[in-house]
Amino acid sequence: MRFRRQTTVCPEGWYYLAILAVVFGGAVFKDVNLLLILAGMLLGPVLLNWQLVRATLRGLRLERKLPPSIGAGDVLSVALTLTNARRRLASWAVVAEEEIRRESDAASNGHHPQSPLRPHVLFPHVQAGQACKGSYRGKLSRRGRYRIGPAKLSTRFPFGLLSRTLTIEDSQTLTVLPRLGRLTDGWTARRLDAFAGTDRRRRQPGPEGDFYGVREWRPGDGHRLIHWRSSARLGKLVVRQLERPRSRDVAVVLDLWQPEQATAEQLRNVEHVVSFAATVLTDACRKGGSNVYLGLSNTETECVGGATSPAILQGLMERLALVEARSDDALPSLLARTLRRVVAETEIVLVSTRPTDLTDPSRFAALHAQPGFPERLRRIRRIDASSEQLEQYFQVELP
């Protein structure tokens, strides 16, 4: 950990030094001893302030505690602990100032770089050999990776004439995940249609799931679950145990295209698509019993995922937090990678920021030449975020 120390004169200190210079100049040119004594008395607080600000910051240590991750628009709470490692001399009026900067401001994609945030915390008094805790809170509205640090400790104690700053060259990163929204009834109905198929048959009333064994009857078990043959053979009531029906696997493919000079509406569409994908994956992982996949193109095309679990969801959300829109056409290679990664029964949802025709022979010629790919391309469910189609399935939750 590196440190940089700097002592500066405060604005009030410059006024004070100007008065001191006038008094000292009058004493020299007019040869007035009383003015010379007054100038010496005025110089005393400056020297004392210089010594105290140097001593106040000596031996201080600042520790920062960040949350593992937060969602865009959620409250960020950062805990700071200031420790005075000296055996004598307390520290007074110490201000800790942090710098929060987004690492990958996509200025080339139409976003304007954000100015760094500079929250600060005041520690009024830190006894020698003890620690004092403080915190600051705020909101980060954009997803991405943020760097927090370096931190600055400063004090003007006791007279406010001079300021001493200690810069701690230590920083940490924080990932701000996409903001989640709400899936509408239209999305739920569409998922049910996809799960059951267009020629689905009407379900018969009764328990659902695959039979895999029996167990002894317990109070509260329904009579329809009783396995009568096994009960007669064993001489006691036993009921069937059914596996929970498995949900259908889903792969969300994002086509985050936008021109080099994007409009505000196009920028919002990109963020809505990312939030929609994050909400769909979170909903699938909460329900469990399936595999989830995410196909996107950032520095390279990739399709990642696996069985639903908190670890899988965290990894997918972090990828969504860092993905940026592109002006080139990476969709053909992204679809090829996705189709090779997932099994044929997986439902593929393509969410794009532009209208997409998967039957275009010139754009997707390589995919149509692969055995089995043309049929799977026809089954892909497409959502065009540049129209009002996405609003039928997803509502953005305002902060």
Picking from 55-59, 117-121, 209-213, 353-357, which range would have the lowest pLDDT averaged per residue?
Answer: 209-213
Q: Could you tell me if 263 and 378 lie in one domain?
A: yes
- Residue 350, Cβ density class (10 Å: 0-12 exposed, 13-18 middle, ≥19 buried): buried
Total-model pTM: 0.78
Taking 80 as the threshold, does the pLDDT of residue 45 lie above it? yes
CATH number of domain containing 146: 2.60.40.10
Nearest residue to 331 via CA among 380, 271, 390, 261: 380
Query: pLDDT at residue 142 above 80?
Result: yes
Quick one: 26 and 144 in the same domain?
yes
The number of folded domains in the chain is: 3
183-221 burial, b for 16+ CB within 10 Å, e for fewer? beeebeebbeeeeeeeeeeeeeeeeeeeeeebeebeeee
Q: Indicate which CATH number applies to the domain containing 355.
A: 3.40.50.410
Range of the domain at 228: 210-243
- For residue range 289-301, list pLDDT tens digits in order: 889 999 998 878 8
51 and 7 within one domain: yes
Q: What is the Cα–Cα distance from 305 to 302, expressed in whole angstroms?
A: 10
Kindly state the average pLDDT of the residues 246-261. 85
**pLDDT for 110 beyond 90:** no
Q: Cα separations (Å) of 333 from 4, 19, 104, 116, 345?
A: 49, 73, 25, 37, 20
User: Can you give the pLDDT at residue 321?
Assistant: 93
